[in-house]
Chain A
Amino acid sequence: MSDRETVVNITVNGQPVEAQPGEWVIAAAERAGVYIPHFCYHPRMSSVGMCRMCIVDIDAGRGPALQPSCMVEVSEGMVVDTTSEQTRKAQDGVLEFLLLNHPLDCPVCDKGGECPLQDQTMAYGPGESRFIEEKRHFEKPIPVNSLVYLDRERCILCDRCTRFADEVAGDPLITFQDRGDQTQVNTFPDLPFSSYFSGNTVQICPVGALTAVPYRFKARPWDLTEVESTYPNPMGDRVVVQASRDQVLRYQGVDSDAVNWGWLTDKDRFSFEATASELRLGSPLIRGTPLGRPDPGGSELVETSWRQALTLAADAIRGAVEDKGPQSVAVLGGARLTNEDQYAWARLVKGVIGTDNVDAQLDDGLPADVVLGLPRATINRSCTPGGTVILMAPDPKEEQGTLYLRLRHAVVNDGVQLIELTPRATGLSHLAAHRLHHRPAEAAAVAAALVGGDIDAGPDGEIGGVPGDALAAAAAALADRADKPITVIVGRPSLAETDGPTVDAVAELARFAKLLAAGGRPGIAFLPALHRGNVLGALDMGLAPGLLPGRVSLDDGGSALAQLWGAVPAAPGADARGILKAAANGHIDVLVLLGADPLGDFPDQDLANAALEAVGTIIASDLFLNPSSARAHIVFPAAGFGERQGTHTNMEGRVTRERQIVTSPGTARADWAIATELARMLGADFGFGSPEDVWEEITRVAPSHRDVSQEAIDAAADGAVVADSSIAFSPPEGPTSVPHVDAYSLRLVSTRRMYDRGTLFQHVPSLAKLAPNAVLALNPYDFDRVGVDSGTEVQVISNVGELDMPVVADPGVPRGTAAFGYNHPDLDVRALIDNDSVVTDLRIQT
């Protein structure tokens, strides 16, 4: 800051202030502790000077004059006076004007008590209005979509919501309409503000014009208590959880510079309805008769005590270990728990029971060495101005909402060039500098050509379905910006193919990363875009085969950990698919499901079904009964978000706190406590009395977490980033061979939609109905080939199954490819996915 070049010296109310070049006066003043009242100005959006509330005396050398401080950049020697008589009169006048048409219905307004207009009128406004005429009238709240209501009478036309929709979300579906005193915010008739991010407009509305349906008339702000926490999604969005009378009523985004900038998706924002649901499990369940009597072979799940449920579980585990050895116990899931929960389960399973058959991912993610063995990017690194992002992941708009917002901002405002290497268009495609939409499962060839510098497009002029000249242009653009950071966002771009092709493509990029690093450039780093809340924490805590807590493999860290834990598994175990196959073959006696639903989530439904059928005892720990846990023999009710204390790890490896504000329903317990109790019954005393104890042990046991003490997490506003890893990426030995697609078939791409049939989502009444129904999307040019019209109901046939569904035209789907959502509530695409093949080909019959 002392560098002359980068500092602009101004004076605010007599105090010298060092401002940054290009900074708005209002922002510089705020950093210096001088608050200038405002309504339309928002630090994460462009300035528009709509509300005029921030006018202050600014003297830039030509004498003091009233100017809007959100529209004036600081300049050397500028003198700002926010307390002058002239300023005070101006603020008084602006507020009187703003209140001309604003109804004084504060006593029945949801915003009352936390309303900037109310607060600033009290602080800066006139005591009385001279306006005696009729105020303007509009129909009282109209829905702009099913989640957000708009009261146009209260609106002061600050342009925040419309700017958010246009600039931040990229869904400009609400605009100013009409003009003069009739100006109003509205949608196009019968075209709702259908955005995944609409709830943010409610949070940033400076008056009570926009209200969220799930919160309307539920509480007054002064009745709410709140804690700052981390929403358990892979982005680790920072939130404030607000509750009243032991019930969570609202989540608000927190402006965290490194993560979500204050934004949340509607899916996350309104998910408190699920945690507060009446259908939450509140008591342990075991098998019993319809009359409620415990009976191991019973058809029903009946309530029981923790003691009995834990005893039964411990007996089942002990029996299985004695009978067939520790490998007959397996664990699926755990990706939605806190780090402490995950560690406690990992220690129980690997250290006490001694099995390595553990997987937090349900064959819908990436191998642990890809996630932990490559240089990890941060979100801020991927948004570095002028940098390059290679998107090799599912659509961030559907799966990682706030990452989409950050990337969108980076591309639109900071000149980040986006190269899309996906099998179909995503929500970012229209912003991508280069769209390399390849044939499903052929990413590796395209990636090799992109970074290899040698594009041999062959006789048909394309590689993996991507035209050679498009690839050449992308390769040139990539090389051109190689002096700036390159970030690869890596995930599973389609669940209708195995992870092999993606890992092959990663290997190509990793080779290039080494070359770049040797040249002393910022090089390539990877940002994993995986599914499920704390999946990155699960990998860090060792909930994967062959892995131990602290990003260390069983082979490397086993002997060191055995001294602390007493024992570690003898040999690496199986992944989710391996576990389910072993179970189906009768090798697994006890299957533990930690918030996992293999029946609903695992790509091979038949295998999951056969496995659950064959397992002797299924133990589930969950918030709700899902299709899988409904078939369990013992169910533990677990504490959910807002009811548990702990830490969360996001996609960058950033560890932040999750805090408790309400009690869990019934006798539900945190997972670390369940694991600790179960361990005690199996003869091991972990000595954990609180999640803090667990974290303390993690910092002792996990090599990568040695420096991440409680204090380190709390020291910075954005938590602590875990960067060390002793896992190395092991490139596959040979490329996955992908069969040629024949001329009569379409190759399937299946990706998740944000609104889906997931258990949590379906328990949010405000959202559940928004999940779209299934359609098969084809390129418009393929309709001639198939011989049907858009909208026709067709029969879709694969090697393993068939489904009836409508086809629609979607230019975002490349020719020869068919796209289908993975998780629609009405139709399950898994009936079509051929799990014995790398890819699935479809035929269409009318």
Chain B
Amino acid sequence: MARLNSNSLAIAQEIIGRYPVPRSALIPLLHLAQEQDGYVAEDAMAHIAELVEVTPAEVMGTCSFYEMLKREPVGDYMVNICNGISCHLLGASALIHHAEDTLGVKPGGTTDDGKITLEAVECIAACTEAPCLQVNYRYRNQVTTEDFDQLVADLRADAAGVAPHGQLAKVRQHVSEDRWAGVSPPHGQGEPAWMARNPSDNGDGS
């Protein structure tokens, strides 16, 4: 749980290669670190700082700005129950109480087995489906207490079809090396390499 491992590092290098300036890769690399450990460890931030040529303090500044980048370990599954107004009117409070009783933790807490972190969140923009929740940011709609119990059972058995916290997508984007941006000259000294690339492009993005 620390710096990026060799597998992540290889991916990191590819991600950095997509940008003309390394520091542009900062947020994608924070996601990568979160995917590796389930959260962004301090050592990972320091490692990312080395890779994108900024100071660890700058990485911390960026990382701490975003709620979805966790700086403390969380469970494999983040269960975010919406407590917005629509969900609230349709029983979200009861659902949260039920979740607290079932899981034995308050919102913000993680179950002892390290599987589930419970959070109560503000509106997640699915009011037609209230009360709703997210498991690692994937929606579950019109959730009853029975649905919730089933969900918890599935999650404990890793049978809910949800990837562990931190993994953004099942398919990783891959950009072939000949499409990388290349390294741009220092600030103010000419245009980045990718601007001059592919003279055959007609420039309209096609």
Contacts and interface: CB of A to CB of B under 8 A. Distances in A.
A172 B57 contact: yes
A177 B64 contact: yes
B103 interface: no
Contact of B58 (A175, A431, A433): A175
A176 B186 contact: no
Interface stretch (A33-41, A51-59, A183-191, A499-507): A183-191
Interface string A816-845: 000000000000000000000000000000
B56 A188 contact: yes
Given A172-B54, A178-B65, A188 B60 contact: yes
Contact of B55 (A177, A188, A415): A188
A179 B65 contact: yes
Nearest to A413: B188
Contacts of B46: 188
A175 B60 contact: yes
Contacts of B60: 175, 177, 186, 188-189
Majority SS of interface residues in chain B?
helix
Contacts, number: 42
Interface residues of A, number: 18
A173 B60 CA distance: 10
B189 interface: yes
B49 to A, nearest CB: 8
A188 to B, nearest CB: 4
B188 A191 contact: no
Nearest to A174: B57
A188 B45 contact: yes
A143 to B, nearest CB: 15
A176 B56 contact: no
Nearest to B45: A188
A204 B189 CA distance: 32
Nearest to B61: A175
In this complex, the member of A177, A179, A433 whose beta carbon has the largest number of chain B beta carbons within 10 angstroms is: A177
Contact of A173 (B42, B57, B64, B189): B57
A433 B186 CA distance: 8
Contacts of A175: 57-58, 60-61
Contacts of A172: 54-55, 57-58
A187 B57 contact: yes
Contacts of A176: 61, 65
B27 to A, nearest CB: 15
A177 B56 CA distance: 12
Interface string A416-447: 00000000000000010100000000000000
B55 A173 contact: yes
Contacts of B42: 188-189
A218 to B, nearest CB: 29
B54 A178 contact: no
Contacts of B59: 188
Contacts of B55: 171-173, 188, 191
8 contacts: A172-B55, A172-B57, A172-B58, A174-B57, A187-B57, A188-B46, A188-B57, A189-B60
Interface of A: 171-179, 186-189, 191, 412, 415, 431, 433
Given A177-B60, A179-B65, A188-B45, 16 more contacts: A172-B58, A173-B57, A174-B57, A175-B58, A175-B61, A176-B65, A177-B61, A177-B64, A179-B64, A186-B60, A188-B46, A188-B57, A188-B59, A188-B60, A191-B55, A433-B189
